[in-house]
Structures are given as structure tokens and as C-alpha cells.
Amino acid sequence: MIMSSVCLLEAVNLALASEMRRDPDMVLLGEDIGVNGGVFRATANLRDEFGLKRVMDTPLAENMIAGLAIGMASQGLKPVAEMQFMGFIFPALEQIICHAARLRNRTRGRLSCPLVIRAPFGGGIHAPEHHSESTEALLGHIPGLKVVIPSSPARAYGLLLAAIRDPDPVIFLEPKRIYRSQQQTVEDNGEALPIGRCFTLREGSDITLLSWGAMITETLQAADQLAQQGVSCEVIDLASISPLDLDTILASVRKTGRLVIIHEAPRTAAMGAEIAASVAEKALLDLQAPIARVTGYDTVMPYFRLEKHYLPNTQDIIDSVTQTLEFV
């Protein structure tokens, strides 16, 4: 079956439907996901096809949603739970960190926890601050959790299939700013993409640009504009926050000698800092300039009038690349 021109949101829906047809043990649960098809419509029409026993509306209780999903996963089901926004995941962290992430270790491998928790994340849609957070580093810090972020419809489809089939818990963060902003042909062929691998979106020789989620859009735009100035940028989509594909990053840095990391999360203790430290440890002598970071600010995500000032833009990336290239 070929689906032409689907957006990222539709690719999520496509992956959920495809895997539910393949695996009768898969169930969905979350707030408003059934009758209403989700706050963004990611689960639209799935209750009509699969029924209320497999697509379950829940009360507004994120801690309960996570707890139910863990119980289902430990007893043989394949739950995919939706948090309406990433900022709402905090009440569920006790369940996710203390139980989902540790179940395999706690039972010495007797039980695993094959669940997926989906959550729209990031700013850019004029939502309140707790609807716009980007706290992927917090989740990536937890042993036992995989954290995945797609940045295109095709990667959303393939990575979500991989997340659902994974034997351990996966946090699947969906960059809602680009939910509907791009169209891509996605083949509904049931093929998963690997978790824990970067995707090189553009080959280059002068500098490596590393980003993930919605910021891939501005990163590619910057690479296009820099190409017109004669600068060859290699663009990498990190895709998996945890596990981290450091091999691909190091290979690129050893080729270009320069690295700019772009993300919208606050700067301090974010994934950019972790990656910069790892590259410095393993490839310091290959670097021709200090590693640069283009990030959000160490502040609460502002309301919509200041949102565009908070989020890094294309010119910010170009300026950082220019400064890195001019370092002597």
C-alpha cells in the first residue's frame, strides 16, 4: 500500500494502524484518543476500526496512564500511551523512572516492559509554556529508557514501528511544530527504522550541523543558504536521544573538523552539552575549532508573543557556523 504526501502526524497514525492490524496484543490508551482521535488527531479513526477495548479513553491522570501501561506491558500486551503534551508527563515520571525503566533489571530479565509513551513536544504553535517544553535530556538521562525523536513523516513511521516492537520502554517524542508542515511519500510496508542510529540528511566537508526534532527544518535551511556562500555543511538528524549514535557523529566530525549542535531545549545540561563533552573526549585532536551550540534559553518557555525570540532561527545557525569557520 502506498500513501502519498502524508504529513508527520498522519505518518504516526499510519504506523499505529499498521501495527495494530499486525499485532492483536497492541492497545492504545490516553486522554481523548478514542472518540476525539487525540488532541492533534494522531489517533483519528482508530477506535472505529479497532474498537473501545483496544483504543481506550482515560481520565486526565497521567500517573495512572503510565501505571496502567506498565501493568499491561508486564502481562503480555503492547500498550502505546499518549501524553497530550510533554509538559504533562511529569506526574507520570515516578511510574516511568521507578518502574518502567527498571523492570528488566529488577526482575533480572524475567520481565520486560514493552511499552511506548508518545508525547508531542517543543514550541512553535503558540501554546502555553507547559505545552511547549523540550525536556528530552531529562528522559535521556534515565537508564533503561530509549528516547526517540522523528523529524520527518518517513522517520516517524519507521521509528514508531521500531519503538512499538522494542522489548523495552520507549519514549517517542513528536515535534508538534512540524506535525503538518511537510509532506512526504511514505510506503505502508511495515518496515521499521533502527533505533539508536543517526540519519545523515546531507553530506558535507566543511562543518557538521547536528540537530533533531523540529529544529532540523531551520538547520537544513541554514545549510542551503550557506551552500550558496560556498560552505559545505554535513547535516545529521540525531533521531535517537538514547541510545546515542556517537560513532556517526564522530565520523562526521573527523571528516569536517567542526561541529555546531542545534536544539531548542534550554542550554544548560541539555543533550548538546552531553554530545559536546563526548566529542571532546574522543575526537579533540580532530577538531579545528571549539564546538558551538545554538540553543534555547535557560528560562521557562515564554508565551506566544516571545516564542519566536526564544526559538533558534536560521540566521542564528548561520552566524554560529560563520564564527566557527572563522576560528583560528
Nearest to 8 by CA among 173, 134, 139: 173
Closest to 207 measured CA to CA, from 320, 76, 42: 320
- Look up cell 488527531; give the residue: 41
Q: In which element (H, E) is residue 121 found?
A: strand 116-121
Query: How far is 261 from 149, CA to CA, in rounded Å?
Result: 16
Q: Which residues are catalytic, by number?
A: 131
Q: Are the C-beta atoms of residues 213 and 121 closer than 8 Å to each other?
A: yes
Radius of gyration of the chain (CA): 20
Which uninterrupted H or E stretch holds 247?
helix 246-256
Chain centroid to CA 118: how far?
10
Is 171 within 8 Å of 145 (Cβ atoms)?
yes
